[in-house]
């Protein structure tokens, strides 16, 4: 018996035509699948970046000594950006409710906070430097928004030198002209809000703190602070918003 193997030209043409139809029919499904997968990946990245920004701030909140209306000091070489000074209310001329400035008094250390061998740095002007006991050296941390981005600035007080034999790990930073640059925390920030609570059980923040008359320089008398960050991203031609928040006690 004769057995034919292979395809005739007609059969091959028909098979190719059917395959093309199947592939073309599946293309929208494949494109939709990969677009959806890419979008989910971008959304996850967006959420992770926003959560990481909040974690950076809460790490500072948990170690802060005071929450300030204005910095303790500003070195003349490292001024605020192009608005009149730093103030916790935020930048004049903007919607300050969603463009606050968080100003923290932080204890200086000999190493990064993640380093278990870090030590407090003590003020050489007033401390018993022989035993490293006395008044700690403090520096200022400023979180601020500029052109839709959230930054972290640190400023050392030149009037608080460390005890001999100690070195301050932290550095003064600025946007430009400094050896140390302000840290870019997050881009495309649509809201950076800081609420203060005067009672640890209160559910509503004390908005009166932001509306006191005059340029009050006293530390903020509050028990808790809540930070809210909202960021946006365009993913698959749609605006994707992520909002995260954390409340930390100031009584430590």
Residue 81 included in any domain: yes
Backbone angles phi and psi of 26, in degrees to 5: -85, -15
Tens-digit pLDDT profile for residues 227-252: 999 999 998 889 999 999 999 987 65
Tens-digit pLDDT profile for residues 166-201: 999 999 998 887 889 999 999 999 999 999 999 889
Residue 8 included in any domain: no
Say what the pLDDT of residue 5 is: 57
Say what the pLDDT of residue 191 is: 96
Residue 204 included in any domain: yes
Rounded to whole angstroms, how far apart are CA atoms 224 and 196?
6
Say what the pLDDT of residue 208 is: 87
Domain around 180: 40-249
Say what the pLDDT of residue 91 is: 78
Beta bridge partners of 144: 151
Residue 169 included in any domain: yes
The closest of 160, 73, 171, 166 to 123, measured between CA atoms, is 160
Say what the pLDDT of residue 213 is: 56
Q: How far is CA 187 from CA 16, 29, 95, 154, 177, in A?
A: 50, 33, 18, 19, 22
> Which residue ranges of the chain lie beneath pLDDT 70?
1-7, 9-17, 19-20, 22-27, 29-39, 76-77, 81-84, 127, 212-215, 251-252
The closest of 242, 222, 194, 234 to 96, measured between CA atoms, is 194
Number of folded domains that form the chain: 1
Residue 32 included in any domain: no
Residue 86 included in any domain: yes
Residue 122 included in any domain: yes
The closest of 96, 99, 105, 101 to 85, measured between CA atoms, is 101
Residue 20 included in any domain: no
């Amino acid at each position: 018996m004769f057995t034919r193997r292979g395809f005739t030209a007609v059969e091959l043409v028909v098979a190719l035509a059917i395959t093309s139809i199947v592939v073309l029919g599946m293309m929208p499904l494949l494109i939709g699948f990969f677009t959806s997968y890419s979008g989910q990946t971008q959304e996850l990245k967006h959420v992770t970046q926003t959560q990481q920004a909040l974690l950076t701030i809460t790490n500072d909140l948990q170690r802060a000594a005071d929450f300030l209306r204005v910095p303790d000091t500003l070195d003349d070489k490292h001024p605020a950006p192009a608005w009149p000074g730093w103030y916790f209310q935020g930048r004049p001329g903007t919607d300050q409710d969603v463009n606050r400035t968080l100003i923290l008094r932080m204890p200086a250390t000999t190493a990064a906070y993640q380093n278990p061998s870090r030590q407090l740095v003590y003020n050489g002007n007033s401390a018993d430097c022989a035993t490293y006991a006395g008044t700690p050296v403090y520096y200022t941390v400023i979180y601020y928004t500029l052109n839709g981005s959230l930054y972290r600035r640190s400023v050392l007080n030149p009037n608080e030198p460390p005890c001999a034999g100690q070195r301050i790990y932290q550095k003064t930073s600025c946007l430009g002209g400094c050896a140390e640059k302000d840290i870019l925390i997050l881009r495309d920030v649509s809201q950076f809000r800081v609420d203060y609570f005067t009672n640890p059980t209160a559910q509503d923040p004390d908005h009166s703190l932001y509306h006191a008359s005059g340029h009050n320089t006293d530390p903020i008398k509050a028990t808790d602070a809540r930070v809210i960050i909202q960021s946006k991203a365009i993913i698959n031609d749609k605006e994707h918003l992520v909002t995260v928040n954390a409340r930390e006690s100031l009584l430590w």
